[in-house]
Structure 1
Amino acid sequence: MPKAIRIATVTAIAAAVAAFLAWYGNRHDFFDLRIYVSAMRWWADGHPLYDYAQPDRVQGELYFTYPPFAAALLRPLAEIPMGATIVIFLIGTAAAIGVTTWWLVHPVALRHRQPPWFFAGIAVPLVFVIEPTRETFTFGQINMLLVVLILGDLLLLVPRNSRWAGVGVGLATALKLYPGIFIIYLLAARRWRAAITASAVAAGATLLAAAMAPRDSWQFWTHELWSTERVGRTDYTGNQSLLGMIGRAALPGEPSRLVWFGLVVLIAAYGIRRAAQAARAGDEVAGLALAGLVGALASPISWTHHVYWFVPAFVVLVDAGLRERDLRPRLALLGLAAAGFLVLLRGVVSFDDWGIAPLPTDTLDEFVRRNAYALLALVLIAVLPVRTGVLDYRRRGAKWTDLPSHARVG
């Protein structure tokens, strides 16, 4: 493909995404980021951190729910003007998306003898436009910081057996509990040293926060951690976990926690087993994608902006599809990636008003639309391919320019 066509393709996709996002607008006005800032100012004034509450038209009241270590890192927000905080957040989140997407697509481009800037130029706008990312930006969520820590650890440090392997996962777990699924993944994949390091770092960061804020830490770990209603209603459509799906089906009754727990155990056992097999086969991206999707389903609350893990899964599908020589499996893999992307492009809360009151799921169409992420995650856990013979050029320190000249097209 001529370089001019590549440039035109990247430019057209970026322009289309920019136009869509401009039309979509800032629908939540950094609502969650404003909660972080207000909670930090409340805390700085001497109030108990976890007593802070902010009204919300859907959930009633929302609280600061992150562990104390996250609060310690966010504490400087109390002293920074809101406008400057928003600018820092926007730049940091955009940079995190660019860096993590580069990590994912760079080796794929090299395997297919394409310039990495071309693959990244296509992939980065597509990551920006999906609902999980849109919600991350418009709510002002910090989850891309966690993604940087986790991917940097599992794609760069763990495969190289670095002495720092596990630190990123440990810090992410101390900041927000759900990344703990990746410690389980490391154990299942028999990355013992990395798993031990991650556990030690998470524990050390938690103890450090306890030393800095003993009263708030005691309140969080003994009470607030177990109060899921502080995070929001589990039946709300934005919650794309298994509990959310079961809860919506059970309305107006309560979901069976026994059924939920049984499904979590079964799906987690199967999904983590597949993730560990992928890691041992050398497919680090498939492994972390499967583990992340398991974590999203198993967590009681998984808002749409939490479910980043479709992105590495789509990279695996596209790479596996492009490697297929037979037309039928190639179309199946690329078709699943395209269908999944369209699900995330439309999303589950962006263009449907499900109202404020608990709303039962009465039809099959509603069930699919209200649980699209959870259903897609279940499909991917079952069918995401594990690529064999994946050559990750990061392990060898190779670059695009290291390929033979006849292999560098464009």
Structure 2
Amino acid sequence: MPADPPVPSATDEDDPGGRTARLVAAMVVIIALVPLLYLLDTPHNFFDLKIYMSAMQWWAEGHPLYDYVQGDRVQGELFFTYPPFAALLLRPFAGLRIGVTVTLFTILTVIALVVTTWWLVKPVAARHRLPWWFAVGIAVPLVLAVESTRETLSFGQINMLLVTLILADLLFAVPRKSRWSGVGIGLATALKLYPGIFIVYLLAARRWRAALVASATAAGATLLAAAIAPGDSWRFWTHELWLTDRVGRPDYTGNQSLFGLLSRFTTPGKPNQALWLLLVVIIAGYGLWRAARAMRAGDHLAGLTLTGLVGALVSPITWTHHAYWFIPAVVVLVDAGLRRPDPAAGAAGRRRRVGLLTFAVLLTAGIIYGVVSYHDWGDAFDRTNSPGEFLLRNVYVLFALLLLVLLPIRAGSTEPSTGTNTPRREPSVR
């Protein structure tokens, strides 16, 4: 008697309706959790945006821009600290009611967040044959849930404008060798100084023309501001720029930079400057070396992510709302972890794949839970005095250091955003 034929196993192709239902259910669960995080978080009521607008009104009344000061229970005194070019862009908002300004800011920030998230996840969805609506539907709520996004929205920060300029440059213009390569980075640097690390990245990757255009754009915007507001520009570049205490207390837990980590060991005193500078040189050198390798391998996303993390580590002040660069890091980890294991790698390849996905999950959980959102670290100078407190108060610093070493470079990765065809083969990972 012949044996019964084998019963075919059910697959997603056999049950597309069931697969869609599972994808939709996952989206609904994640979307439903996001409002809860905002309700649990301490609302900042657009505190920073209101400072900017008050400073603009002060300036419009004829006062020196950098004389504006506002008291704060945590930081003591807060000032307007952005370069004059940023002030020129913010000045027109001085005549608007604060409610209108808040509405415009929130809408523009959310639009920028959705657009940049689409840029990040679309190539991953295409490479792994995931529906684009599912990739975006999962990614956008998760990005909204991340502490840096919550802080950006609730404080009223301009970070997403800078991120949009940088990503547009490094994911589109630079890979395509466009004549506009470097313009976005240059404008971002003129608005807020820390994007200047991406000019160094272009130099390290030997993208000489893009680095020159970025430098010229930043210089041109700065000179334009100097022509319109010469006194304030002179004061900023010769005096205010060098007064780091205007930005805030470096030992405060919200400062997730290497200098902040060291300051929490020495407060109220300052950390050893020579030690800090030595660590900055080592970390910046290693991180930018890996970033340049990533660009040369065609992994522009990994390259810009490593550079952003370097900038966060070496800047004296890196508030939690500056920590956007963990978001593309998660995308890189997930993309590398989802690739088909190389049969030649055997068990080691499978373990690496599991390790990358596990790291992505832990990183996502860490940046959603955050550092300051659900903790009251106090207002007084408080030293780090236990291993557990060291870990909790320096989560982003430690994650950034790990990522400089462990973030995979997806050699041979070709992004759809570059205008080339997406290969069907999986990219190799270094």
TM-score range, shorter chain: over 0.9
Give the Å deviation of 1:45. 0.2
Cα deviation digits, residues 49-71 of structure 1 (max 9, x gap): 00000110000010000000000
Listed as ranges, the matches of 1:346-385 within 5 Å are: 346-385=369-408
Tell me the residue number matched to 2:200: 184
CA distance, structure 1, for counterparts of residue 187 and residue 419 of structure 2: 27
Give the Å deviation of 1:13. 1.2
Unpaired runs of 5+ in structure 2?
Answer: 1-11, 13-18, 342-348, 425-430
Establish whether residue 330 from structure 1 lines up as the match of residue 353 from structure 2.
yes
1:235–1:245 CA contact under 8 A, matched in 2: yes
Cα deviation digits, residues 264-293 of structure 1 (max 9, x gap): 000000000000000000000000000000
Establish whether residue 197 from structure 1 lines up as the match of residue 213 from structure 2.
yes
2:190–2:221 CA contact under 8 A, matched in 1: yes
Tell me the residue number matched to 2:105: 89
CA distance, structure 2, for counterparts of residue 42 and residue 237 of structure 1: 30
Give the Å deviation of 1:113. 1.1
Tell me the residue number matched to 1:406: none
Unpaired runs of 5+ in structure 1?
Answer: 404-410
Tell me the residue number matched to 1:239: 255
**Coordinate RMSD, CA, aligned:** 1.4
Give the Å deviation of 1:25. 5.2
CA distance, structure 2, for counterparts of residue 223 and residue 166 of structure 1: 28
Tell me the residue number matched to 2:120: 104
CA distance, structure 2, for counterparts of residue 78 and residue 398 of structure 1: 47
2:42–2:373 CA contact under 8 A, matched in 1: no
Tell me the residue number matched to 1:392: 415
Q: TM-score, normalised by structure 1?
A: 0.95
Q: Give the 4+ runs in structure 1 shifted more than 6 A.
A: none
C-alpha distance 92-13 of structure 1, shift in aligned 2 (>3 A): same
C-alpha distance 319-365 of structure 1, shift in aligned 2 (>3 A): same
Establish whether residue 317 from structure 1 lines up as the match of residue 340 from structure 2.
no
Give the Å deviation of 1:352. 1.3
Tell me the residue number matched to 1:305: 321
CA distance, structure 2, for counterparts of residue 149 and residue 363 of structure 1: 40
1:26–1:138 CA contact under 8 A, matched in 2: no
SS of the residue aligned with 2:324? Answer: coil
Pairing partner for 1:50 from 48, 61, 66? 66
Tell me the residue number matched to 2:33: 16
Deviates further, 337-346 or 280-289: 337-346
Listed as ranges, the matches of 1:152-231 within 5 Å are: 152-231=168-247
* Residues paired across the two proteins, number: 400
Rg larger in 1 or in 2?
2
2:119–2:417 CA contact under 8 A, matched in 1: no
CA distance, structure 2, for counterparts of residue 72 and residue 20 of structure 1: 35
Listed as ranges, the matches of 1:274-293 within 5 Å are: 274-293=290-309
Identity of aligned residues (%): 62
Letter of the structure 2 residue corresponding to residue 233 of structure 1: R
Give the Å deviation of 1:5. 2.4
